[in-house]
Amino acid sequence: MTAWRVLFTMLTILVTTGTCAAESPSEIRWVNATSLRLEGQGWPGETRPFRRLPDRAEGKVPDKVWELSGNCAGLAVRFVSDSSEIHVRWTLSAPFTMNHMADTGISGLDLYVRRDGGWRWMAVGRPDGVENEKLLVSGLPRERRELMLYLPLYNGLTRLEIGVPAGCLIEPAPAWPEGTKPIVFYGTSIVQGGCASRPGMAYPAILGRRLDLPSVNLGFSGNGKTEPEMADLLAELDAAVFVIDPLPNMGAVPVEERINYLLNVLRRKRPGTPVILVESYGNRGEPARSGRRPEDTSVNEEMRRAYQKAKPLWGGLLTLVEGRTLLGEDCEDTVDGVHPTDLGFHRLADALEPALRKALGR
Amino acid sequence: MTAWRVLFTMLTILVTTGTCAAESPSEIRWVNATSLRLEGQGWPGETRPFRRLPDRAEGKVPDKVWELSGNCAGLAVRFVSDSSEIHVRWTLSAPFTMNHMADTGISGLDLYVRRDGGWRWMAVGRPDGVENEKLLVSGLPRERRELMLYLPLYNGLTRLEIGVPAGCLIEPAPAWPEGTKPIVFYGTSIVQGGCASRPGMAYPAILGRRLDLPSVNLGFSGNGKTEPEMADLLAELDAAVFVIDPLPNMGAVPVEERINYLLNVLRRKRPGTPVILVESYGNRGEPARSGRRPEDTSVNEEMRRAYQKAKPLWGGLLTLVEGRTLLGEDCEDTVDGVHPTDLGFHRLADALEPALRKALGR
């Protein structure tokens, strides 16, 4: 009996290897990512495949916001494959580096696999330049699995292909169950994912995995200013919940007025959709002479006023998460006082998850 | 009375500002870091000020180890200043980048302040090139404080100067109490600090702060192979405790034999000094077909044999920390399956701290 099992296993390996093997790079079958399930787009099907805002936003939102909407933060490709190896090749929009964030986060790819009812990290694609081709993972058991590949946080793509050995299965992942709505995150570089080590460690990505929901990242580095035009665009989205986290970019703009506008437009156009307002945790570096805690900033005070005013109208659908709860007391969770490291993003996700679960009735 | 206090405070501010102010960059007084308290060196006072091994190690340890000993991992300058601003200028040994680690960790500086009985993060020095000059922090209250500046994890320095406005105090921090011994860490890139976002987030640095002890980082990226020559050098150090974490680099070398040699030499030359052996946590990416947990590697099995053999001779001074306890179950704490992010380093520190406290009798 045991001998038969061994023989059977060996035959199975031979057969499956025979139908899906790569002995030279030319045998890889490359599939355009846009033919798979591209997720994290609020406005799918526009002319630019990896952009976060719709074509008509150009000229309507500030130029810098439009430009940043070409960064792929939060976009992910979900697909099914039975291959023992996954290859990727990607072309970046332009060379771009920052001295406080790893290139893997800025321009890399990040692969997860659905396992044991959740998502487990699998492999990272480390970029070497504008053109990249990598074997992400090999030696996997030959069985059908669902994979999710996150795209670069601070760069755009002009090409993304996923490769498997000829004869292996690769197809779009199943659609979400009918009626599934995404979590929509709006805000600053912190929402966009600066300075995560990998695209999957931006906090909207972590929370999307934890809650197993699609996640739309509308973080715009330095430009999360809650302009009325941006508020109107947000209200176009049929979200499960809106997470509004723009304050660190709003020091020079009328916070209360803009948050009021945003809340009004969301309540009018998306009645019944919960909204979570996120305070700023301030700068975690050594506080200057004022003696104020870093999170006690005037932008927080202004948003609290907007929240208090709106709250009675929202019937429990409006939540405020306080800045002091977002990061650790040790002040070790940012790289520069402002941008979370993976430690900071993990803590941000921990801090926001209960508010999200409550808003989603889970 | 209150009016008097206000007047007195104002006068104090005027006076102290008057004696320690910078209105133009030329008024900064630059102090060579080597004239302050340079810490984290096992062999201080050698000819090369920022090197981690003694001159005589050249040609004795493998060339690559010697070369890596020029990286400043774990070195720190401790000093006292009453300045409201701290400037730094530093010259790197060479341009060097990696695509999975931020330049702030590779080549940056990282400033902490002693506060409330511990160390609190203050500011990071972001490198722009080989030559750098930065204002790290400003606006601090004018009072005497102890500061600690960590040096680059993966680069060397040919110059490091700390600047304060002319007239401000800057002097070496007080020496440690008589008899204070350092924690000595030996190992791989993980010990050296790859891929921390800032020098202060390498796990030997975190643990040095938590235990408030000097910390010597002898991590050699890709080259923590426990050569007998390296073991002999380690045994020269009068450590509070040795933390031995080389396994991820020892796949191709005789682990049991080398760990046996190291333990023998430490027991002979440093009787009474506790030793903590750290297993490898393996590769945290998706496990391949073997089905083994990532930490169940043959290097761990070999080290466990050496540990079991040596244990009866050590009278409780020898500890083994298991690989499965080191990182999280979520496998989210590395950038590439091997190198911890700040989340991973925080978890590594959490995992090792109890063993260190026990070894140190705290």
Q: What is the ipTM of this complex?
A: 0.93
The tokens describing A224, both together, are: 């999360």
Q: What is the DSSP secondary structure assignment for residue A177, as one 8-state letter?
A: P
Sign of the CA dihedral running B310, B316, B317, B322: positive
Give tens-digit pLDDT for B72-101: 999 999 999 999 999 999 999 999 999 999
* CA atoms of B30 and B72, how far apart (whole Å): 21
CB < 8 Å to B332, chain A: 121, 200-201, 206, 342, 346
CB < 8 Å to A121, chain B: 284-286, 330-332
Q: Is the pLDDT of residue A40 over 60?
A: yes
Give tens-digit pLDDT for B298-352: 999 999 999 999 999 999 999 999 999 999 999 999 999 999 999 999 999 999 9
**What is the pLDDT at residue B2?**
43
Q: What are the residue ranges spanned by the domains of chain A?
A: 26-62+76-172, 183-282+293-359
pLDDT tier for residue A91 given thresholds of 50, 70 and 90: very high
Q: Is the pLDDT of residue A330 over 80?
A: yes
A256 φ/ψ angles, rounded to the nearest 5 degrees = -60, -45
B39 strand-pairing partners? B76
* CA atoms of A229 and B260, how far apart (whole Å): 69
Tokens 């030319």: give the residue: A26
Strand order in the sheet with A275-278: A215-219, A183-187, A241-245, A275-278, A318-321
Tally of CB atoms within 10 A around A314: 16
Q: Which stretch of DSSP H or E encloses residue A277? A: strand A275-278
CB < 8 Å to B104, chain A: 99-100, 335-336
Q: Is the pLDDT of residue A121 over 60?
A: yes
User: Is A20 in a helix, a strand, or coil?
Assistant: coil
**What is the pLDDT at residue A287?**
60
How far apart, in Å, are the Cα atoms of A181 and each of A94, A273, B191?
A: 33, 11, 44
Q: Looking at the domain that runs over A26-62+76-172, which CATH code has it been given?
A: 2.60.120.260
Tally of CB atoms within 10 A around B42: 22
Q: Is the pLDDT of residue B273 over 60?
A: yes
How far apart, in Å, are the Cα atoms of B68 and each of B207, B229, B261?
A: 22, 16, 23
**What is the pLDDT at residue A174?**
97
Q: Is the pLDDT of residue A350 over 90?
A: yes
Considering only CA atoms, which of B102, B66, B135 is closest in space to residue B201?
B102
Which has the higher per-residue pLDDT, B13 or A186? A186
- Residues A199, A202, A206: CA angle, nearest 5 degrees: 100
Mean pLDDT in chain A?
A: 92
The radius of gyration of chain B from alpha carbons, rounded to an integer in Å, stands at 22
**What is the pLDDT at residue A286?**
74
The CATH classification of domain B25-40+75-172, taken from the options 2.60.120.260, 2.40.30.70, 1.10.645.10, 3.90.420.10? 2.60.120.260
B244 strand-pairing partners? B186, B277
Give the amino acid at A70. G
The tokens describing A241, both together, are: 């919940």
**What is the pLDDT at residue A2?**
43
**CB pairs < 8 Å spanning A and B:** 143
Give tens-digit pLDDT for B176-194: 999 999 999 999 999 999 9
B318 strand-pairing partners? B275
| B137/A286 Cβ within 8 A | yes
CB-CB: which of B121, B335, B344 is closest to A332? B121
pLDDT tier for residue B17 given thresholds of 50, 70 and 90: very low
Architecture of the domain whose range is B183-283+293-359: 3-Layer(aba) Sandwich (3.40)
Mean pLDDT in chain B?
A: 92
| A103/B99 Cβ within 8 A | yes
A167 in the Ramachandran plot: left (φ > 0), alpha (ψ -120 to 50) or beta? left
| B198/A335 Cβ within 8 A | yes
pLDDT tier for residue B10 given thresholds of 50, 70 and 90: very low
The alpha-carbon gap from A18 to the nearest alpha carbon of chain B, in Å, equals 17
* CA atoms of B83 and A22, how far apart (whole Å): 64
Q: Is the pLDDT of residue A335 over 70?
A: yes
Q: Domain A183-282+293-359 belongs to what topology? A: Rossmann fold (3.40.50)
The tokens describing A153, both together, are: 């946080």
CB < 8 Å to A138, chain B: 288
CB < 8 Å to B138, chain A: 288
Calculated CA dihedral for residues A339, A341, A344, A346, nearest 10 degrees? 130
B21 burial via Cβ count (<10 Å: 0-12, 13-18, 19+): middle
Q: What is the mean pLDDT of residues B59-77?
A: 98
Give tens-digit pLDDT for A231-253: 999 999 999 999 999 999 999 89
pLDDT tier for residue A47 given thresholds of 50, 70 and 90: confident
What does A258-294 look like in DSSP terms, one character per residue? HHHHHHHHHHHHSTT--EEEE------S---TT---T
| B337/A346 Cβ within 8 A | no
* CA atoms of A334 and A343, how far apart (whole Å): 8
pLDDT tier for residue A24 given thresholds of 50, 70 and 90: low
CB < 8 Å to A289, chain B: 84, 139-141
**What is the pLDDT at residue A292?**
61
| β strands within chain B, DSSP E | 28-32, 37-39, 76-81, 86-92, 109-115, 118-125, 131-137, 145-150, 157-165, 170-172, 183-187, 215-219, 241-245, 275-278, 318-321
* CA atoms of A174 and A176, how far apart (whole Å): 7
Chain-centroid distance of CA A263 in Å reads 23
CB-CB: which of A286, A342, A346 is closest to B123? A286
pLDDT tier for residue B47 given thresholds of 50, 70 and 90: confident
**What is the pLDDT at residue B21?**
61
